[in-house]
Amino acid sequence: MSKPTDLLVGLVLLPLVDCSSGGAGPHSSNTVDLSQTLVPDLAQPMDDLALPHDLAVPIKPKPAVFTRAATITGLKSARCLLSVELTGDKQPDLVACSTVDQNVQVYRNGGKFMFAKGASVSTPDYPISLATGDVNQDGFPDVGVASFIGGKHTILLGDGRGNLSATATLIGNSYPNDIQIGDLDGDGTLDVLGIELGMGNGGKVLSLFKGMGGGRFAAATTLSAGTGPAGAVIADVNRDSRMDIVSSGYQGGTYSVHLGMMGGTLGAPQTTAAVRGPRLVAAADFDRDGYLDVAMTFEGPTPGHVGVYLGKGDGSFAAAIELPVGSDPYGIGVFDANLDGKPDLYVANINSSDVSILIGRGDGSFEAAQQIMVDGNAYAASAADFDGDGKIDLAVSASTQIVVLRNETP
């Protein structure tokens, strides 16, 4: 099986680690805080709720059930995947990118798991990550694309009818590997964050492009981070209503936290050692203590693993809980797969050509991964309710195809 994880650029062999499962911010698909519910958790008996946490009898959560509902073929080296409603019919569409076709391709959701090829936009120089948000505040979601070789981030404005048109091109450091969109300075306008491996430059920076409204952005300001940033999430980890950044330091084996400060600035990074090769990052309140936690995929063949870091609420995190998944895990995101209101994880595995679904128990621990084959190097996945039945489905980018899995959990 081919393993397209390496790209020769110049004389440097680059391990590529990217691909976003979605941007953060108002349209985030990898940040879910399910803790804010006021409804009692009916999955647990009342006696259980009254017990101290460590005395509670663990309730085994029900597994999720997914079946293949659609296979979109004809892709070449599909690397990114995003679910976002682009056509105005309230049904989430799919956006993929191809490093061979060098484009971003929209697949319009026609209902009943029928997807039709829609708009295509040329995005040269190895597009490898997508994010979404309404950057020009016209009510229609837009798409940001990171192009690895060009060191650039292209903003594609959505018109609400399924079309995407390139507007700004944002040049940051070098070799962007992930892109996130969120309001980092709290001015009500979405900003773009470039997460850049910076190969050959001793790259230790993130590039922040502040949104100025109308889809325009300021020139990059740089934030120092762990060596070789590969992925990040924008989320409020210390619950002060200011957005923060948690980024992975792929080359240095670290993760870094930038806390949002008064006046729209970001504080100095707090960098913590992780095990080798952290890649992409997602956030949710996995133990439901009111503070966001993060999960990261880690480079590694067999067994691959995900690290879950429970937030302490002050911007720091407990030591990793390591969860085995498929081989060479890459894209990661949060959804409620088994409909119990507790956040679960999906992980795209490159080498094992499958997706792992980790059912959260709601206390920060997880059931053993359910593996679903997708028959192709899986770099990215994206969750959305494609058929509108209230159950969140999952689309997986698998090299030459996109496999759409229907959630049939009873």
Query: Would you tell me which residues interact with Ca ion (CB under 5 A)?
Result: 236, 238, 240, 242, 244, 260, 285, 287, 289, 291, 293, 311, 336, 338, 340, 342, 344, 385, 387, 389, 391, 393
CB closer to Ca ion, 32 vs 192: 32
Both tokens assigned to 4 = 């397209």
For residue 11, give every residue at least 6 positions away whose Cβ sits within 8 Å of its Cβ, in sequence order, or none.
none
In the numeric block, the tokens 């792992």 are attached to 356
384 by DSSP, 3-state: which? strand
CB closer to Ca ion, 173 vs 247: 247
The minimum distance between CB 186 and Ca ion, in angstroms, equals 10
Count of C-beta atoms within a 10 Å radius of residue 57: 9
The minimum distance between CB 359 and Ca ion, in angstroms, equals 6
The minimum distance between CB 385 and Ca ion, in angstroms, equals 4
- The rounded distance, in Å, linking the Cα atoms of 410 and 408 is 6
- Burial of 228 per CB tally in 10 Å (0-12, 13-18, 19+): buried
Please, are residues 210 and 217 in contact by the beta-carbon 8 Å criterion?
A: yes
- The rounded distance, in Å, linking the Cα atoms of 355 and 346 is 7
For residue 42, give every residue at least 6 positions away whose Cβ sits within 8 Å of its Cβ, in sequence order, or none.
none
The minimum distance between CB 185 and Ca ion, in angstroms, equals 12
CB closer to Ca ion, 142 vs 340: 340
324 by DSSP, 3-state: which? strand
CB closer to Ca ion, 79 vs 342: 342
CB closer to Ca ion, 178 vs 393: 393
Nearest to 201 by CA among 222, 237, 166, 174: 174
CB closer to Ca ion, 178 vs 287: 287
The minimum distance between CB 239 and Ca ion, in angstroms, equals 7
CB closer to Ca ion, 287 vs 299: 287
Q: Cα angle at 268 between 265 and 273, to 5 degrees?
A: 140
The minimum distance between CB 36 and Ca ion, in angstroms, equals 12
CB closer to Ca ion, 109 vs 123: 109
Tell me the HSE value of 256 on the side-chain side, using a 13 A CA sphere: 26
The minimum distance between CB 111 and Ca ion, in angstroms, equals 11
The minimum distance between CB 282 and Ca ion, in angstroms, equals 13
- The rounded distance, in Å, linking the Cα atoms of 325 and 347 is 8
Helix (H) or strand (E) holding 368: none
